Structures are given as C-alpha cells and as structure tokens.
Structure 1
Amino acid sequence: ISTMNQNNIIQPLLTDFYQISMAYAYWKANKVNDTAVFDLYFRKCPFQGEFALFAGLEECLKFVQRFRYSEQDITYLRTVLPPSADSEFFDYLATLTAQGVSLYAVEEGSAVFPKVPLIRVEGPLIVCQLLETTLLNLVNFASLQATNAARFRLATGPTKQLLEFGLRRAQGPDGALSASRYCFVGGFNGTSNVLAGKLYGIPVKGTHAHAFVTSFYSLDEVKERMLKNKSTGRLGDFIEAVNQCRRTVEAQVGLPTANVNVGELTAFAAYALAFPGSFLALIDTYNVLKSGVINFIVVALALDQFGYRPIGVRLDSGDLAYLSVQVRELFRQVAGSLKMPWFEHLTIVASNDINEDTIHSLNQQGHQIDSFGIGTHLVTCQKQPALGCVYKLVEVNGRPTIKLSEDVEKMTIPGRKRVFRVFGQDGLAILDLMQCADEKPPQAGSRVLARHSFHPSKRVYVTPSRVEELHRCYWHEGKVMSELPNLESIREHAAASLVTLRTDHKRFLNPTPYKVSVSEQLYQFTHKLWLESAPIMELS
C-alpha cells in the first residue's frame, strides 16, 4: 500500500483504554499465544433503509501495515496503567506488530447487510483485540457516509450532478476529508473541498458566494474590461458588450432590465471576465426573477458574443421547485426569441440545506434542477449519526464462542464463517448465505436451504443461478494480498453493486428487508452452542 495520504493520527493509541487494560489482563493470564477470530459487522441498516455500502478498507490496511507502538507510546502507557503493572508487559507491547494477523474482507464499495462480517480478523488474540477500536472507527463513518451519499444518488437518479459542499459544516478537518472521500464513493460527482481534491483526485467544483455579489455596486468598478474572443483571438470591450446585451434583452426578449441590481450585474460581469469558459452565477442575492436571472442572461449573451458558452445558475434559497421551473421558462424564452436553442439547456444548480427528504419532495413537485449542491445533511449524516458497527470474538484457539442476549439481534453467530451472495436468473441478488468454514460452498443450479439465524420457522429453499463468495484475503503474514483499487474504481464498483439489488430493497419508503441467512449446518451448530452456553434457570 502506498503510504501517501496516510493520516498520522491513525495509530495504535487511537483506541479505547479498555483495549490496553484487556491486553494486560490477557498477558497476565498467559494468553500470549492464544489465537482468535473476530467479526466486524453492523446489526441494522442505516437511515431506515435496507442496505449499506462498505467503505474504509484501504485505511484499515494502512493501519494494520503500520501497527507498532513507538517508544513514546510505551512511555505514555506506563503512566496510565497502574504502578503495579509488570514492566515486562511494556517490553512485550514494544515488540507487537500485525505480522501474524490475517484480514479477510468484503470488497470495498460493495452493498452489504446486517450480520454479514465486513471484515474478519484472525491471529494472535491480544493483537486482534488491540485492533478493534481503530478498525471500527475507520469503517463506521466511512461506510455510513458512503451509504448516505448513495441514498442521495438513488433519490436524484443517475443523470443529475451531485456536489458535496459540506466542508464548513463537517465535524472537524478529519470528518470533512473523510466525508468528501466517501461521498465520492457513494456516487457524488465532485466536492468543494480543495484538499480532498488534491489528496484523492476528486473533481473540485464551486462558483462564488453572496459576498462576491454584494462587494460590487457599479460597472465603473470594472477596470480590466477587455476580453479575448475565443474564436478570433481579438480583444474586445466586454463591459460594452454587457450594456449592449441589456438593451437586447429588453427589446428582443421582453425582460425588464431597468430595475435590476446593477451591483449584481457588475459582479456577474467581473466573474465572467475571470472565468469566461466556466461562468456559473449565484442568482438569489437580491431577487431571483426580478434581478438575478435577468442579470445572468445579460452576461451570458455577452459571453456568447465572445465565443464562450456559459454554464448556468445556482439557486441557494427560496422555493427551489418553483424557481427552477420559472428560470427554465426564461431560458426557453431567450432560446426562442434569439434563436439560441442551447440557452434552454443551461444548467440549474440548487443548494440550501437540502436533505434526502427534500429531493423526494422536489421530485413530486416537478422541478428543473440539473445539479444539487449538498452539505450539512450529507457530511454530518443528520438523519443517523452513527452506523453502529461492532467487533465480536467468534472463535478462540479453534473453539467457537457465542455472545448471548435477551435481544436476539445482539447475539453473535459463532465460529469462522464463509459468506456467499446468491443471484437469481434475473441477475439480482436473492440473499447472503453464511456457512461454517468447512462446509461445501453453494453451487449454481443446486438447491440449498437457507435459514434465519435464530427463528426456526423462517427458512427458504433457493436455487442460485450464480454464486459469489464475498470475502477475500487482503492481509496475511505482513503483506497486502489483493491489489487495491483506486477511488474511482471503488466508486464504479459501488454503483455496480447497487444495480444488483432489487428496487424494493432500495426504495425510500418501507423498503423490503434483504435476506441474510445461515446454512442448515451453521443454524444447528449455533443453536447447539446457544443451549450449551445458556444457564438453566431453576425455579422453586
């Protein structure tokens, strides 16, 4: 793995203190040579949906690759453990690496479901335990963010442009960078975050703020008036062209220009002079329909005289559905009046605290928005602030373990497992099937019994047309075992993975739960261990 863009905060001490105290207790109990298997998974899909996207694997591998306590770490740990702690323990900690750990995982970007291990960690018990908190931290937010972004993409449809504008509202710089990165994985087209663009190669997008508009008041402010014609290369007076186009808009298009805000017109002209090839204006500083869109049309027509094609407008307040329809109608009016058919299709961008519910509402109302800039609700995941991944011991020294609970959803599925996704004749996923590691895998064309993990009456026969094993080994004996894709490839895989899910699993309201099942052998084994582990009540 390239260590480029490695976050130096991600280190062994980025953990909960009880991991250190458990490590010491394990050590004192002479469990240094014990081996273990841990499963990292979530119990419930986020955002009241029925799917999630797995993300954060690359950062997990970087962490495992660099796992080692420094001298400074050991010195600090001596101060936080009790004075009675044996000095030899700290010498032991100083020797630890993840060389003996094996890490199996689902491919990053895959659609995933409750109870299915996203990552399986095998190796020395103490080391595997010490990895827990950091791995959870790296997977929880990344997967939540990618899932949130994917839901926005499903809401808008595949053709709309989605831009992440959340840097200023994110939970600190690390949260902002992670949000930009994993929103791109989930289907967003770009970000306003310049550093994320540099680090991850995400397209950077943005125009100007209201402050830019309100900083101008008169066309006389524009001192550099000359613009080179894109076609001829000749210099011309752009402000003179703007004044001429004001008259054209009034006379030929029928739009009143006398009462527009001249400062706004000046700001648009100045911005167009700076970016003639990518002019997109924020038009709601004063009044969208009486000033902003008219001033944009004027400057857009002036740019056309110099051989440049404007991009469009951004709406950041008001009734977005209504305003977008009205702005599109004005674009059509210009296109018809001036014989410029391209003008009708200029881009309309909308922002203004948009969430997933807003987009569904806009779809119902009928809108003319081509692109959405989404910030706060996206990067902070306001609808659900945490995914809730857990990291559970399922085997120690080859002996399967189970955690019991009165809440069946919190019970673990014991032992080392293999997981398969089975597909129907239509190419869509039917269910995920967990099996004991030593079982024969399901085969295409052969019927197999799939059972609910704990409810005896919930069972189904399935005959898959295709079977895909979900886990592959990514880390073994100190080496990365599988080539890691770049961010664009992860993004493409995420989109392809979602396509394999039925639409009712992905719908906004009352989605159908996706089946995660266990084999007959794993079901019987789990229930046998359950009975063996549960104390028998005695009544008198």
Structure 2
Amino acid sequence: MNENGADGFPARRNSHRQNGVIQPLLTDLYQITMAYAYWRAGKIHDTATFDLFFRKNPFSGEFTIFAGLEEVLKFLENFHYSDSDILYLKETLPSVDPAFFDFLANLTADDIILHAADEGSVVFPRVPLLRVEGPLIVAQLLETTLLTLVNYASLVATNAARYRLASGVNVQLLEFGLRRAQGPDGGLSASKYAYLGGFDGTSNVLAGKLYQIPVKGTHAHAYISSFSNCKELTQRTIKHKETGEEIDFVDLCNEWKDKLTPFLKFLRVLKEESSDGELAAFASYALAFPDSFVALVDTYDTCRSGLLNFCAVAMALHQMGYSPNGIRIDSGDLAYLSKTARATFERIAAHYELEWFKNLTIVASNDINEETIWSLNEQGHEINCFGIGTHLVTCQRQPALGCVYKLVEINTMPKIKLSEDMEKVTMPGKKDVYRLYGADGHALVDLLLQVGEEPPEPGSKILCRHAFHESKRAYVSPAKVECLYKVFWKDGKICEPLPHLKNSRQRVADSLKTIRQDHKRNLNPTPYKVSVSDRLYHFIHDLWLQNAPIGLLS
C-alpha cells in the first residue's frame, strides 16, 4: 500500500495534485458498511451504473451551471485507502472481517468509467451530470464524495452566473466572502466557483495563489479610523512619477482640498466639517499605493467628507503623475450615493478638462444580493463594480442544490426507484443525453435516450416526450444536435484534458448564450424542457408497472 505523502496528497504515480481533505474517507459511514455487506454477500464482481443528478433548479431559476468535474477527476485518479485509513477503519469497525480491509487496501477507481457533461455547461433537472459505471462496491464508495464535490460547486457557480446576468457584462464582480464562508475549505471553494461562474476576482489571497484568480482589495474602516489628523503622518513626501521631483504630498492634498471645496457646494460640503483623519488615511494609503489608489469613503459621511477628501488626494496623485482608481461605498443608499459620486467626478473632470476623472471606478459592497442589483439597475445606479460576500458564498436564498446519486442498473439489469412523489421516481438504465438546437442557435430541449438508440440527426423529426406525463409530447426538428456526454475517465486514466478553470469560466458564458432569455430572466422564467425518446418513455413505464405492487380491494 502507498501511504499519503508528506504534503497530504496520495502518493500515486502521474496523479494531479489534490486537496488533501478530498480522500476516500471523506464519505458517510454507511457507504463503507454497505461495501462490507456487499463484500460479505459475494457481490465483489457485480457491476453497476449510477446517475448523479438534481431534481430542481436553484434560486427559483430555470438553469444550473455544472461545476466540480475537475475535482471529481482528481479524486478518481487519487482514490486509494492509505495505511492510516485502514488502521482507522479497523478501530472504527472492530467486528468486521479483517479480510475486508485487505480488499479495501487494494481498491482503486481504475475500473470505473465516468461519462459527464463539460464543466461550466448549463444543465437542467433530471439530466445526469455524471454517469458512473463499474464495480458495484467501488461505485457505491464514490457516492458521498462525488456529491459533495458537485453540489456546492454547482450551486455557487450558478449563483455567480445569476449575479453576472443581473449586473451585465460591463460591471466588474468581486467575491468578498471568505470571512462569511462556511469554514476555510468553503471559502476556497466559493472563490474558485464564483470565478468559474463569471466573477472577475476575489479578495481571497490563497484562492488567488492556488487557482490563479485575480485578487483585489482596498482597506477597511479600521484603517481610516486609525488616523486622527494629518499632523501625525511622518511619511509625507512623494516623488513625481516622471520627473522624480519630491514634494510634501500631504500639503499638496490640503491645497487641492481648498481648491475643490467650492465645486462641491451642491453636496453641502464645508471643509471644516470634513474629517482631517480621513484625509490623513487617504493620503497615507495613496503614498503606499499611488498607482492603484481606491478609497473607502463612507467611514464618516460619504457626501460631506469622503468624496471631498478622496478627490483632493486623487487630484494630488494626478499632479504627481499617478492615476487613482476610484472609491468604494460600503453603506447607505447605494444608488443615490453612486450617482452623487459620479456627478462629483464629472464636475471636476469638466472644470479641469480631465476626461478620465469622470470615469473613476465606483465599487459598492454592503451585503449585496441579486435582488439588490436588480433594484439598483431600476434606479439607474452609477456603480462600476460590486463586491459581494455573504449572499454569494453562503447561497442564502438556497443553501443546497440537492444532487442525488441513484442506482439505475445492476449487472446490466435496469433498476427503477418508485415513489408516491413522482419527482423521486428514477429513470432506469444507461442513458445518453443530447441537446437539440433551433435555427436561431438557441437550445430547444435536452433529450435522453437509451444507450444504443440511434442518436438524433439535424433536420429529422424527433418525438420528444415528458418522462412521466403521457400527454406532454412534441415533435422537434433540430437545426443542430449536440451530445452532452464525454468519457472523462476510463481504464484508470483521464480521457479528456483536465478542465481548466479559465476554460470552464468561458464555457459558462458561451453556454448561457445558447439559452433563450426567457429561461434566464429573473422573474417567472420559462421552464426549459427535458424530454425522453419514445423508446425510453415506454421502457420506463413498462418497468414501472413490473415493479409497482398491485393493490387489493376487499
């Protein structure tokens, strides 16, 4: 047996590095007890097929983004019980036959075959995101880990994509959620999958390092509050970026404050009422970061202090050859304050003939959610960038996606799970998935077929049926047909290029363009159709009748 390496990663040749927490013991105990019961029952040579899917789109929407595939593939590649794993299981399950642990110690995922959609694809309820085929015991042991890798990743990516749709393509989105995330691993996953879903950067420095996500950040209110006045600044000078001339930057900021006060009378600004400590903090921060200066302007009063102090420092930086970036607003009426800030920038830009000044960035934070952005849009805000934390990473509107992992075939025999709740009836057997497109390039329907059926052809007339409602059916003549499944893992190897975060991020944007606007709208979106072939429809219902008990009336 190969023990985990010193870095916590399984020591397996040619494997991709993986988070050390993601390992075979990251599972529910009943997976291992079931594996033992299978083993005791002599089912070590049984084969099975499982589907991983969800039943309902999150956030009252009608689309979902599939994410987590990269980590799934790494998990399969590194799947192995270490010496310490086996020792722990022996202590945890002392009544288990010791020979079972020898069996576990030699298990790998090499005999598993994984079909999946591309990471970053738009997906819909009941369409299997993963089709897992192989030895029953191994496929069963994978269940919980695959679910935890796909559920949260897809939920956050979908949430992020919805924020992107709400804000539009011209507004930057930054993920600020680490301090509110469900623990450190939740924080890292949120940063990764928010970026995949369409965000532009994160405040999470470790996520930036691990996943090559752009990192962004300014300062907190504590930095502003730590200064009382400009007299306490000991480092005051700055060199001109081009000439090298060195002057007292704090004095220059005060000079600009005197010049700008008359222009800001519409804000009811009085120089003596604005905070000298805030000006000191801005000047100090500008001296530290003259080429990327962004100021948090709401510590005292955005209109009567923050904007004046920021503009004074920004103009001083410009005079010394540097380019300030903008402001961040973290409280108050964001629509009103952003429009007031933009009007301030435009007045100064017009008076000093500085076209760039009117386009300074306005970042808004303050517990923003999707509804906040839609409301701000209606109010005509002037925000260039949203910093979003709690509602993004915790997915407060819906904290879980609800993916399930269901047995659909055992030893080539299809299996169906029945329920009084029709939504919980499974679709038996191995299935392939095709997306049918109209002539306008938009997706019309996802069609599930039994493996072995002739795939649909562009231009042909295809009967698409609801899986369980007999009367819901339609003919579709697609202009384009796309097979959603690829074999990503077979014979112990990754068969497709390992999904790269930036490529998956681009796929989200491209995939969303193929979905009609009414499926993506915020209010009352149109449900997207997921259908089955006529052959699969009859197969499901025949198997249903075979397995459903017949009642007796007396």
TM-score by length of 2: 0.96
The answer for the alignment partner of 1:35 in structure 2 is 47
SS in 2 for 1:107: coil
Residue 138 (str. 1) matches residue 145 (str. 2): no
The answer for the alignment partner of 2:175 in structure 1 is 164
The answer for the alignment partner of 1:202 in structure 2 is 213
The answer for the alignment partner of 1:532 in structure 2 is 546
Deviation (angstroms), 1:238 = 1.2
Deviation (angstroms), 1:5 = 5.4
Residue 389 (str. 1) matches residue 387 (str. 2): no
Deviation (angstroms), 1:4 = 6.0
| Counterpart among 524, 535, 541 of residue 521 in structure 1 | 535
Deviations 1:136-194 (A, max 9, x none): 00000000000000000011011100000000000000000000000000000000000
In 2, Cα distance between equivalents of 1:213 and 1:324: 20
The answer for the alignment partner of 1:97 in structure 2 is 108
| Counterpart among 510, 513, 518 of residue 504 in structure 1 | 518
The answer for the alignment partner of 2:38 in structure 1 is 26
The answer for the alignment partner of 1:373 in structure 2 is 387
Which ranges of 4 or more aligned residues in structure 1 deviate by more than 6 Å? none
Deviation (angstroms), 1:234 = 2.4
Deviation (angstroms), 1:251 = 4.7
Within 5 Å, which residues of 2 pair with 1:299-318? 299-318=313-332
In 2, Cα distance between equivalents of 1:375 and 1:503: 27
The answer for the alignment partner of 1:406 in structure 2 is 420
Percent identity (aligned): 61
SS in 1 for 2:58: coil
Residue 115 (str. 1) matches residue 126 (str. 2): yes
Please tell me whether the aligned partners of residues 436 and 480 of structure 2 are also in contact (alpha carbons under 8 angstroms).
yes
Residue 263 (str. 1) matches residue 283 (str. 2): no
In 2, Cα distance between equivalents of 1:195 and 1:167: 10
Deviation (angstroms), 1:2 = 7.7
Which region of structure 1 is more displaced relative to structure 2, 243-252 or 64-73?
243-252
SS in 2 for 1:116: coil
Please tell me whether the aligned partners of residues 249 and 257 of structure 1 are also in contact (alpha carbons under 8 angstroms).
no
Deviation (angstroms), 1:18 = 0.8
Deviation (angstroms), 1:485 = 3.3
In 2, Cα distance between equivalents of 1:9 and 1:412: 31
In 1, Cα distance between equivalents of 2:436 and 2:525: 20
Within 5 Å, which residues of 2 pair with 1:449-464? 449-464=463-478
| Counterpart among 456, 464, 477 of residue 491 in structure 2 | 477
Residue 9 (str. 1) matches residue 33 (str. 2): no
1:7 maps to a residue whose letter is N
Please tell me whether the aligned partners of residues 49 and 407 of structure 2 are also in contact (alpha carbons under 8 angstroms).
yes
In 2, Cα distance between equivalents of 1:252 and 1:5: 58
The answer for the alignment partner of 2:236 in structure 1 is 225
The answer for the alignment partner of 2:337 in structure 1 is 323
Q: Give aligned pairs, total.
A: 539
Please tell me whether the aligned partners of residues 268 and 281 of structure 1 are also in contact (alpha carbons under 8 angstroms).
yes
Deviations 1:470-523 (A, max 9, x none): 010111010010012321111001110011000010111111100000000000
2:363 maps to a residue whose letter is V
1:250 maps to a residue whose letter is T
SS in 1 for 2:74: helix
Deviations 1:74-95 (A, max 9, x none): 2221222252x22221111111
The alpha-carbon distance between structure 1 residues 199 and 466, as it changes in their structure 2 partners (threshold 3 A), is same
In 2, Cα distance between equivalents of 1:4 and 1:40: 23
1:194 maps to a residue whose letter is V
Unaligned runs of 5+ residues in structure 2 are: 1-12
Residue 238 (str. 1) matches residue 263 (str. 2): no
Deviation (angstroms), 1:337 = 2.1
Please tell me whether the aligned partners of residues 53 and 112 of structure 1 are also in contact (alpha carbons under 8 angstroms).
yes
Deviations 1:237-261 (A, max 9, x none): 2122112212211356655322210
The answer for the alignment partner of 1:351 in structure 2 is 365
Residue 192 (str. 1) matches residue 203 (str. 2): yes
Deviations 1:201-247 (A, max 9, x none): 00000000000001111212222222121222322221221122122
TM-score by length of 1: 0.98
Please tell me whether the aligned partners of residues 5 and 199 of structure 1 are also in contact (alpha carbons under 8 angstroms).
no
Within 5 Å, which residues of 2 pair with 1:71-90? 71-81=83-93, 83=95, 85-90=96-101
2:228 maps to a residue whose letter is Y
The answer for the alignment partner of 1:289 in structure 2 is 303
1:58 maps to a residue whose letter is E
The answer for the alignment partner of 2:290 in structure 1 is 276
In 1, Cα distance between equivalents of 2:97 and 2:259: 87
The alpha-carbon distance between structure 1 residues 283 and 344, as it changes in their structure 2 partners (threshold 3 A), is same
Which region of structure 1 is more displaced relative to structure 2, 403-412 or 333-342?
333-342
Deviation (angstroms), 1:452 = 0.3
The answer for the alignment partner of 1:126 in structure 2 is 137
Please tell me whether the aligned partners of residues 70 and 499 of structure 2 are also in contact (alpha carbons under 8 angstroms).
no
Deviations 1:109-157 (A, max 9, x none): 0000000010110000000000000000000000000000000001101
Please tell me whether the aligned partners of residues 173 and 385 of structure 2 are also in contact (alpha carbons under 8 angstroms).
yes
| Counterpart among 440, 458, 467 of residue 444 in structure 1 | 458
Residue 423 (str. 1) matches residue 437 (str. 2): yes
Residue 69 (str. 1) matches residue 81 (str. 2): yes
In 2, Cα distance between equivalents of 1:104 and 1:246: 64
2:107 maps to a residue whose letter is L
Please tell me whether the aligned partners of residues 253 and 338 of structure 1 are also in contact (alpha carbons under 8 angstroms).
no
1:442 maps to a residue whose letter is P
| Counterpart among 434, 439, 442 of residue 448 in structure 2 | 434
Deviation (angstroms), 1:338 = 2.0
Deviations 1:262-291 (A, max 9, x none): 000000000000000011100000000000
SS in 1 for 2:323: coil
The answer for the alignment partner of 2:70 in structure 1 is 58
